[in-house]
Amino acid sequence: MRSHQNNLLLIEMVIVLLFFALSQAVVLQVFTKAQQINRNAEIADHALMRAEDTAETRAAQADAETALLSLGFVAQENQYVLTDADGYRLEAGVHRLTQPAGTLTTVEINAYQNDHLLFTLPAVQYREATTP
């Protein structure tokens, strides 16, 4: 009878140890996922701050292309690209609509992380035409 109780106690201890090992594995996975979510949020936050800075700098300067180049963007085909070491890429496209009354310039800034679009930020500026 005594060895039967010892065997039950041993089995109960093994079950308790397995339960805690399983709990530890689940908690570790949850913390790892939370850390990855936090890192992605940091990257998106840095990209948004950089895009806002680009839009504000663009608003302060008359020429969109010069503003983008001064911020470190590189001209590629029909757009300007800025790749950051934090893991995101900003792409800016410049579009102009010229009318007799003035020019509407739109700079659309797209932020990507691993080719996944994070957000789009349009920066629009209107300049009236000067009369002679």
pLDDT at 132: 61
Rounded average pLDDT over 91-96: 92
Three-state DSSP state, 104? strand
> Could you tell me the pTM of the whole model?
0.74
The parent domain of residue 94 ranges over: 2-128
Count other Cβ atoms within 10 Å, centred on residue 48.
16
**For residue 1, is pLDDT > 60?**
no
Q: Of 63 and 117, which is predicted with more confidence?
A: 117
Diameter over CA atoms, the chain: 111
Structural domains in the chain (count): 1
At 131 the pLDDT is: 65
Q: Which two tokens stand for residue 12?
A: 């109960």
Mean pLDDT throughout 71-88? 89
Q: Which two tokens mark 59?
A: 């608003």
Q: What are phi and psi of 8, to 5 degrees?
A: -65, -40
Q: Give residue-wise pLDDT tens across range 102-130.
A: 888 999 999 999 889 999 999 988 888 77
**Per-residue pLDDT tens digits for 3-22:** 777 788 889 999 999 999 99
Q: What is the pLDDT of residue 84?
A: 85
